[in-house]
Amino acid sequence: MGARHRFNPPARTNCNADVESVRATIENEFFDLENFSGHAHFMATAGTYQYFYNFARKNRSRAKKTPAELLHEKTPDLHPRILLLHP
């Protein structure tokens, strides 16, 4: 698919913190609140949360912008559909 692995840049210690922050948010807002009746239910619910997280949920530490808004500011030529990868 053309994906490449990148290590965190030197002297950018917050990169891992950003990943851990996202993981903790998803844990608290999704996994701790939802119950799943099976694989299909989990996938449908995960897709809905993914859409909410990327297109509707404003992030306080990111100037109250959604990931889609931040993506558009940084790379306006990249289609926001990239944020809808299958869970």
Q: What share of the chain is helix, strand, coil (3-state, %, to 5)?
A: 60, 0, 40
Residue 1 is assigned to a structural domain of this protein = no
Residue 9 is assigned to a structural domain of this protein = no
Q: Which string of b and e fits 32-45 if b means at least 16 CB within 10 Å?
A: eeeeeeeeeeeeeb
Residue 55 is assigned to a structural domain of this protein = yes
Residue 8 is assigned to a structural domain of this protein = no
Q: How does pLDDT run across 21-41, given as a tens digit for each residue?
A: 889 999 999 999 999 999 999
Residue 6 is assigned to a structural domain of this protein = no
64 pLDDT higher than 90: yes
* Structure confidence at residue 87 (pLDDT): 80
Residue 63 is assigned to a structural domain of this protein = yes
70 pLDDT higher than 90: yes
* Structure confidence at residue 16 (pLDDT): 78
Residue 29 is assigned to a structural domain of this protein = yes
What is the mean predicted confidence (pLDDT) over 64-81? 94
61 pLDDT higher than 90: no
**pTM of the model as a whole:** 0.78
Number of independent structural domains in the chain: 1
29: left (phi over 0), alpha (psi -120 to 50) or beta: alpha
Residue 3 is assigned to a structural domain of this protein = no
53 pLDDT higher than 80: yes
Euclidean distance between CA atoms 33 and 55, whole angstroms: 20
Could you tell me where the DSSP H helices lie in the chain? 14-26, 39-55, 67-74
Domain assignment of residue 56, given as a range: 14-84
